Amino acid sequence: MTNILGETYYKRLIVFYIPLFLFLIFLLFPFYFMFISSIKDPLEFMEQTVPPLWAERTTLENWKTLFNDTMFIPWLINSLVIALGSTAISLFCGVFGGYALSRLQFVGSTSLGVFIFVTYLVPPALLFIPLSDLVALLGLMDNRWSLILSYPTIMAPFCTWLLMGYFKTIPTDLEDCARVDGATRFQAFYKIIVPLAVPGILSAGIFSFTLSWNEFLYSLVFISSPENKTVPVGVVTALIRFDIFDWGAIMSGALFGCIPVALIYSFFVEYYVTGLTGGAVKG
């Protein structure tokens, strides 16, 4: 019995725990590197003898440079407002579009669903050219609304496609029973279907929030004022001056800039995994 337990322990150690430990190191290494670089003395970046994985002289000057010499706090607020606004629009389109394509039967519904997903595959670098003309025509250049209204062109197709597949996992019998009891289709939708689809909606929302938070191209083109910039563009434009890279402050911006997204994933990771794997109710 002891030999069997020992073999089981070593088997789990080799098959499960060691690969999991290595995988965690691989995932957490970027955060470690950003943190070490953010507290490293700026002179160490110029010294070739100092290993890049630890700091011999630590300092908080990089953090002070980020918060005192740049507009990092307004950038954070701009990124948060833009990400929340564009995510709300994308989810609104995705919820109603995904439900309609998964439940309503009309000519071309299947082809339309495939077409919506194909539009998500179009590179954003091609879309921003006509979008820039449209934004300029509407007078939204150098305005946060230019990004709030532009980002859903990237995110709404994916949200629609993801939620369309998720709604299909919810049995239609639930709606049929509600409609037999006198509920309208819309009442059955928001009282029964939407609560069951919360994991899928949160999954699409996290994806949209992350994509809009990290987006760089549209923000670089549509926003020019320093006070209206987002974190990715603001950190790059303010801390990279020609061929001079303030690596300590840049890494500090990257570290503090990824904290909101990391917190969102940590709180909603169960819903995110459920939404990606699919399956609200097994009927």
CATH code of 219's domain:
1.10.3720.10
Q: For residues 270 and 75, what is the distance between their CA atoms, to the nearest angstrom?
A: 29
Whether residue 111 is found in the same domain as residue 221: yes
pLDDT at 282 exceeding the cut of 50: no
Instruction: Give, as one character, the DSSP assignment of residue 122.
Output: S
Whether residue 79 is found in the same domain as residue 39: no
178 occurs within a structural domain = yes
53 occurs within a structural domain = no
* Residues 92-96, mean pLDDT to the nearest whole number: 92
Residue 3: its pLDDT value, please?
60
283 occurs within a structural domain = no
Residue 212: its pLDDT value, please?
92
56 occurs within a structural domain = no
Residue 283: its pLDDT value, please?
42
Whether residue 110 is found in the same domain as residue 8: no
Residue 121: its pLDDT value, please?
77
pLDDT at 111 exceeding the cut of 70: yes
Q: For residues 263 and 197, what is the distance between their CA atoms, to the nearest angstrom?
A: 22
pLDDT grade for 57, boundaries at 50, 70 and 90: confident
Which residue shows structure tokens 């996992």?
169
51 occurs within a structural domain = no
Which is nearest to 160 in space by CA: 126, 109, 124?
109
Helix and strand numbers (H, E) in the chain are 15, 2
Whether residue 109 is found in the same domain as residue 136: yes
Residue 4: its pLDDT value, please?
59
Residue 124: its pLDDT value, please?
78
Whether residue 115 is found in the same domain as residue 215: yes
77 occurs within a structural domain = yes
Residue range(s) defining the domain that contains residue 24:
2-46
Rounded alpha-carbon distances, angstroms, from residue 102 to 98, 99, 110, 279: 6, 5, 9, 14
Whether residue 34 is found in the same domain as residue 68: no
Whether residue 88 is found in the same domain as residue 199: yes
pTM over 0.75: yes
Whether residue 223 is found in the same domain as residue 199: yes
Whether residue 81 is found in the same domain as residue 39: no
> How many domains are there within the chain?
2
Whether residue 24 is found in the same domain as residue 96: no
54 occurs within a structural domain = no
Whether residue 126 is found in the same domain as residue 245: yes
Whether residue 37 is found in the same domain as residue 72: no
